[in-house]
Amino acid sequence: MTQAMPRKRKLPLKERYALLTRDLDWQPSYVGKEQLYPYTSYEGIKVHDWDGWSDPFRLTVDAYYKYQAEKDKRLYAVLDSFAQSQGHLALSDASYLNAIKLFIQGVTPLEYAAHRHFAYLARYLEGPAPRFAALCQSVDELRHAQTQIHTISNYNKYYGGFHSWSKMHDRVWYLSVPKSLFDDAMSAGPFEFLISISFSFEYLLTNLLFVPFMSGASFNGDMPTMSFGFSAQSDESRHMTLGLEAIKFLLEQDEANVPIIQGWIDKWFWRAYRMSALVAGMMDYMLPKPVMSWKEAFELYFEDQMLGGLFPDLDFYGIKPPRHVGDAIAEKDHLSHQVYKILHNFSFAAAFTTSTPTEEHSRWLASQYPDTYQQLYQPVWDRHRRIEAAGGRVFFQGLPQLCQVCQIPMAFTETDDPARISFRRSDYRGETFHTCSNGCQWVFEREPEKYVQAWLPVHQIYQGHCGGPTVPDVLAWYGIQDGDNGEYQGSPDARSWADWHASNPSPAPER
Amino acid sequence: MQYELRYQVIEPKRNSYQNVIDRLGDQPATRYQEATLDVEPRENFHYRPTWIAGRELYDPRYSALRLTDPYTFADPRGFYYTPYVTNRAALHDEFGKTLGYLEDRDLLAKLPDAWRGVLASVVIPLRHYESGAQLVSVAGARFAHGTSVEQCCTFAAFDRIGNAQMLSRVGIALGGGTGDVLTTAKQEWLDGAHLQPLRRLTEEIMVVDDWAEGLLAIDQVDALLYPLLYAGLDERALLGGAGPYSLFAQHLTRWFADQRKWLDALVTSWREDPEHGAANTGHLDRITQTWAPRAQEAAAALSAVVDDRLNGATP
């Protein structure tokens, strides 16, 4: 019988965590490193010491299960009670759900894509510590996709537009904006993916891409989505610290990494910013009770926090603010209005509905955009309102031209002339390609061989790949059902909402 | 008697998402079904991967094993994220209680020498095997075709880190709260003759291109190691004065029983696929023929050491 060994010093937390994670790794000797990790050199990134990665959070597997199971128990309790009590009747208005339609069609699939491709990093990054962090994030992102599906499942039972989110993400024109962004990141190498998603998406712009939906939920009585948002918060903060550690680690490893990463920051800022245009339109026009304007959010979360806070820190490594940031700032008074005009014009082919802003909403927009709204955009809405008062509704006839990079219809104006559509052209292999901005043109010309592959929805319709030549053919192929699309007033959702509230003392707010 | 609560009834316009309705009819669906069916994108990928030629971002051709419709396979455990973490939280909670009990009473230190040796030089080094198995499983998380299949691989990958951490925590406890046992166990993994067939095999499986072949090759090893080292030593441990070994090993045995459920069901789906069944069966047989003898060899080397240590020991 052995004597009990004398107790030695207890392992310090950091060391214990290393033993439970990165120390599981070993140097293979029966197969080559290049065989095991074939994708970590072709992007030109140099890593000399993977041990230099300092874990941005320390979460052992048992603790992870415990926290997450507890959080989910609480979240699903909210979902169940909301469903049981017909909580959707207490929303600010059924038109609010247009934001959530956009969310499940456009954002939930991105969570799922992140789940799949963080698994790629968990397989192929050479360092065991970042591999483990990526594995955690992969599992988290699956959580987000699935809890969103369940959060929204109850709305799907009573309202249109939610029912075919997965197919729509693959097919519908405005959803090629987010889909192409993630396809772009996933088809890039592992380090570019890390910078694009962990840094640009999760850190730099998360407060403009993801959080506005959660805040909108909170202001508009959407308890399930708000609860999801709170429940995802601790996951997101892990993802944000991963993004920050990733960029600092790569910048510290080798000076030659700096220009490569600068290029990715320039590219991914613009890609993600362009996608956020859809969120801008949502924030300013789709929420019956708005949270804050796009412009205010952009100033607070991007100009103050990122340009004012993060980039001065990154300057130490030689990193400059994103190349086209000036254009983004210059158009902050215009972006949401121009995007919502597009959505309003083309919502006959969308799986959500749109409406001309009410006079009250119009006053709010005027107060948020004193330099542009009344001058440039209110007259447009006044015209719509007059036509609608006479029983009409204007939709744009025909199909728009799409930007070859961001895939948003070409309707943005020049930053110095709001009367002129911004239109850039580039030639590649004897063909002409059009982009919507300096940023998208620059992104195109950096990797034309990639962007010429884009599955552009309008081209695809013209080429006959989308169900047939007529609008009803295409809508059927999109999976859009009668009344999912078009004008909100008089839509099935609006009529149901009025019926459900007819016997109630407080009628639905007038839109 | 019960009271009657009046509440507003609103007839739903549909009971589930359209893709679920298309498959199962318009009836209430389970959360597993809504979270799983048709979630993976199918078509219209914008760009080709720069890291592999001739493949789409999602592509059935990442494996020779195919399903006509990946959603004919369903996880028999019904795991989507929440039931998965809830189940594993319980497993790790129970493991933690076991380990706490062993540590409080210093039971690992009181193990017979032969059993301490088996733990330190055969079982604890397998935390590296688990880590290798994680790398293999996570390839399925990325490359398997269909959410039904890939989420099982995702959970299996995370499980493996969990298993590796359970083994590591036993190692830390065995080392009296230090990393000493883990350090020597790693040395054994790298240099110990008895572990080299297994390490070589693990490394070779880690570089297999076909994610499903890698997963099945690892399973060939699991199918020998788990019964041999955990369930198989249970009675011997109880009779040989090594009850603490049995207490800890039960958790890994439990995990392996759970792992079998989805993997056996997946193999059945592959074999019975209406279109690819015959080709799948050919591939499955080839995979077994390729890897089973290697797994036998690796397990035999460990089995010999275990027998050697334990047979020399007093009961």
3-state secondary structure of A367: helix
pLDDT at site A7: 52
- CA–CA separation, B127 and B162 (whole Å): 10
Residues A186 and A253: beta-carbon distance below 8 Å: no
> Closest partner residue to A1 among B16, B110, B203, by Cβ?
B110
Interface A:B, Cβ pairs < 8 A: 267
Residues of A in contact with B204 (CB under 8 A): 30-31
Note the CATH architecture for domain A61-354+396-502. Answer: Orthogonal Bundle (1.10)
Q: Specify the 3-state DSSP secondary structure of A435.
A: strand
Question: Is residue B262 assigned to a domain?
Answer: yes
- Statement: residue A8 has pLDDT above 60: no
List the single residue in A4, A26, A153 with the smallest CB-CB distance to B190.
A26
Phi/psi of residue A424, nearest 5 degrees: -115, 145
For B297-301, what is the mean pLDDT? 98
Q: Nearest-CA residue of chain B relative to A173?
A: B44
CB pair distance less than 8 Å for A187 and B50 = yes
Residues with Cβ < 8 Å from B298, sequence gap 6 or more? B197, B198, B200, B201, B221, B224
Residue A503 pLDDT more than 90? no
Q: Work out the average pLDDT over A245-269.
A: 97
Whether B172 and A19 lie within 8 Å, measured CB to CB: yes
Distance CA(A178)–CA(A187), nearest Å, equals 14
Residue A247 has pLDDT above 70, yes or no: yes
Local confidence band at A2 (pLDDT 50, 70, 90 cut-offs) = very low
Residue A511: the pLDDT is 43
Distance CA A382, CA B130 (A): 66
Distance CA A341, CA A198 (A): 32
CB atoms within 10 A of CB A190: 23
Radius of gyration (C-alpha) of chain A in whole angstroms: 24
- Residue A507: pLDDT over 50: no
pLDDT of residue A504: 55
DSSP β-bridge partners for residue A434: A425
Query: Distance, in angstroms, between B145 CA and closest chain A CA?
Result: 11
Look up the domain containing B218 and give its range: 102-311
Q: Cα-atom radius of gyration of chain B, to the nearest Å? A: 23
Closest CA to A100 of A151, A141, A49, A138: A151
Give the span between the Cα atoms of A324 and A322, in whole angstroms: 6
d(CA A159, CA A483): 10
Structure tokens at B45: 């990928």
Q: Flag if A179 and B41 touch (Cβ within 8 Å).
A: yes
The mean of the pLDDT values for chain A is 94
CA distance A157 to chain B (A): 5
Question: How far, in Å, CA of B203 to CA of A209, rounded?
Answer: 41
Which among A8, A72, A149 is the nearest to B35, CB-wise?
A149
CA A241/CA A243 separation, integer angstroms: 5
Instruction: Return the structure tokens found at A332.
Output: 């902050």
d(CA A185, CA A201) in angstroms, rounded, equals 11
- Report whether A326 contacts A302 (CB < 8 A): no
Q: Say what the pLDDT of residue B313 is.
A: 56
Q: What share of chain A is helix, strand, coil (3-state, %, to 5)?
A: 65, 5, 30
Q: Å from A39 to nearest chain B CA?
A: 7
pLDDT of residue A508: 43
- State how far residue B169 is from chain A, nearest Cα, in angstroms: 8
Minimal C-alpha gap between B18 and chain A (Å): 5
Using the beta-carbon criterion (under 8 Å), do B165 and A60 form an inter-chain contact? yes
Q: What's the CA angle centered on B129, arms B125 and B134, to 5 degrees?
A: 140
Distance CA A284, CA A291 (A): 9
Q: Distance of alpha carbon A373 from its chain centroid, rounded? A: 26
Contact (Cβ atoms closer than 8 angstroms) between residue A288 and residue A96: yes
B128 vs A24, A39, A60: nearest CB: A24
CATH of the domain at B131: 1.10.620.20
The Cα–Cα gap between B138 and B299 comes to 24
Q: Choose the closest CB to B110 out of A4, A42, A64.
A: A4
Distance from CA of A422 to the nearest CA of B (A): 24
Residue of A1, A2, A3, A23 for testing the chain B interface, max B β-carbons within 10 Å: A23
Q: What angle do CA A407, A380, A496 make, to 5 degrees?
A: 80
Question: Is position B236 within any domain?
Answer: yes
| Cβ–Cβ under 8 Å, residues A155 and A163 | no
The beta-carbon neighbor of A69 closest among B19, B86, B116 is B86
Instruction: Give the C-alpha separation, A439 to A412, whole Å.
Output: 12
By C-alpha distance, the chain A residue nearest B11 is A158
- Contact call for B110 and A69, based on CB within 8 A: no
Cα-based torsion angle of the residue sequence A485, A487, A489, A491 in order, rounded to the nearest 10 degrees: -20
Tell if the CB–CB gap between B179 and A157 is shorter than 8 Å: no
Separation between Cα atoms, residue B117 and residue B111, nearest integer Å: 9
pLDDT digits (tens, 9 = 90+) for A63-93: 999 999 999 999 999 999 999 999 999 999 9
Give the DSSP H/E element, type plus range, for residue A432: strand A431-435
Assess if residue B121 is contained within a domain: yes
Residue A320 in tokens: 């400059």
pLDDT, one tens digit per residue, over A293-316 is: 999 999 999 999 999 999 999 999
Sequence ranges of the domains in chain A: 61-354+396-502
Q: Across chain B, what does the average pLDDT equal?
A: 96
Instruction: Tell me what pLDDT residue A431 has.
Output: 97
* Residue recorded with tokens 């874990």: A55
What are the structure tokens assigned to A144, written together?
């987000």
Q: Under an 8 A CB cutoff, do A68 and B89 touch?
A: yes
Contact between chains at B35 and A143 (C-beta distance less than 8 A): no
Amino acid occupying residue A154: N
Burial zone of A433 (CB within 10 Å; 0-12 exposed, 13-18 middle, 19+ buried): buried
Give the whole-angstrom CA distance, residue B105 versus residue B99: 10
| CA nearest to B134, candidates A19, A131, A198 | A131
Residues of chain B in contact with residue A142, where contact means CB-CB under 8 angstroms, are: 81, 151, 154
Structure tokens at A229: 């948002």
Q: What are phi and psi of A469, to 5 degrees?
A: -85, -15
Q: Which residues in B lie closer than 8 A to residue A133 (C-beta atoms)?
A: none
Q: Are A160 and B17 in contact (CB under 8 A)?
A: no
CA distance A138 to chain B (A): 8
- What pLDDT is stored for residue B3 in this prediction? 81
pLDDT value at A145 more than 80: yes
> pLDDT (tens digit, 9 = 90+) per residue, B183-203?
999 999 999 999 999 999 999
Distance CA B261, CA B239 (A): 30
Please check whether residue B186 lies inside any domain of the structure: yes
Contact list, A176 vs chain B (CB under 8 Å): 44, 46
**CB distance B31–A163 less than 8 Å?**
no
Rounded Cα–Cα distance for residues A291 and A99 (Å): 13
How far is it, in rounded angstroms, from Cα A263 to Cα A319? 10
Looking at beta carbons, which residues of chain B come within 8 Å of A146?
A: 35, 80-82
For B235-294, the DSSP string reads HHHHHTT-HHHHHHHHHHHHHHHHHHHHHHHHHHHHHH-TTTHHHHHHHHHHHHHHHHHH
Q: Do B172 and A11 touch (CB under 8 A)?
A: yes
Is the C-alpha dihedral spanning A385, A386, A391, A393 positive or negative? negative
Rounded distance, CA B23 to CA B271, Å? 22
Q: Suggest the residue from A125, A142, A447 to mutate for an interface test with chain B (most B CBs closer than 10 A).
A: A142
B3 within some domain? no
HSE-up (13 A, CA, CB side) for residue B20: 24
Res A505 pLDDT > 60:
no
Residue by residue, DSSP assigns A136-179 as: HHHHHHHHHHHHHHHHHHHHHHHSSS-TTHHHHHHH-GGGHHHH
Residue at B38: amino acid letter: D
Q: Are the beta carbons of B135 and A8 separated by less than 8 Å?
A: no
Instruction: Quick: pLDDT tens for A167-176.
Output: 999 999 999 9
Domain total of chain B: 1
A181-198 pLDDT per residue, tens: 999 999 999 999 999 999
**What does the alpha-carbon distance between residue A412 and residue A436 come to, in Å, rounded to a whole number?**
7
Residue B163 lies inside a defined structural domain of this protein: yes
**Residue B181: inside a domain:** yes
Instruction: Please name the member of B44, B49, B131 whose beta carbon is closest to the beta carbon of A187.
Output: B49
